């Protein structure tokens, strides 16, 4: 197992664990913050979450792309990179806009959609982690 693969596996498992925490604990509890404090909470959440997600996601994308570059015929690494691209698409086309709405005001609809659509990322990171572990 190469150092590149180990780094990629670590990043994927880190993000899989983080997204399960977000899905099961963090996002559902956002609805309990209260209307008076929600906008300040959401803005702080967005800022602080970037510290634990941005660099690992970028590194995961980079290591995933490098794995495919070095073994372009690997169906596993092709599917892996596709999964990463789907994660990025979900993040930037679904969850980021919902967070944008929530930074202006709490709405039950936006919050519910955030929790429900985050399952896309939860499933993708989980499946990718399992697939990568199966060849580790």
Share of the chain above pLDDT 90, in %: 99
pLDDT at 117: 98
pLDDT at 1 over 80: no
Alpha carbons 84 and 101: distance in angstroms, whole number? 25
pTM of the predicted structure, to 2 decimals: 0.94
pLDDT at 136 over 90: no
Average pLDDT of the residues in 1-13: 96
Interacting residues of 85 by C-beta distance below 8 A, sequence separation 6+: none
């Amino acid at each position: 197992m190469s150092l590149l693969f180990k780094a990629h596996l670590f990043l994927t498992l880190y993000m899989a664990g983080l997204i399960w925490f977000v899905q099961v604990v963090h996002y559902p509890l956002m609805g309990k913050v209260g209307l008076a404090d929600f906008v300040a909470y959401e803005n702080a959440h967005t800022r602080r979450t970037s510290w634990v997600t941005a660099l690992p996601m970028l590194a995961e994308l980079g290591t995933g792309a490098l794995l495919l570059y070095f073994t372009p015929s690997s169906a596993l690494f092709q599917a892996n990179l596709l999964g990463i691209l789907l994660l990025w698409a979900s993040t930037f086309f679904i969850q980021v806009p919902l967070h944008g709405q929530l930074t202006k005001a709490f709405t039950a609809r936006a919050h519910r959609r955030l929790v429900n659509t985050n399952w896309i990322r939860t499933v993708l990171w989980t499946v990718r982690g399992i697939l990568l572990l199966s060849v580790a």
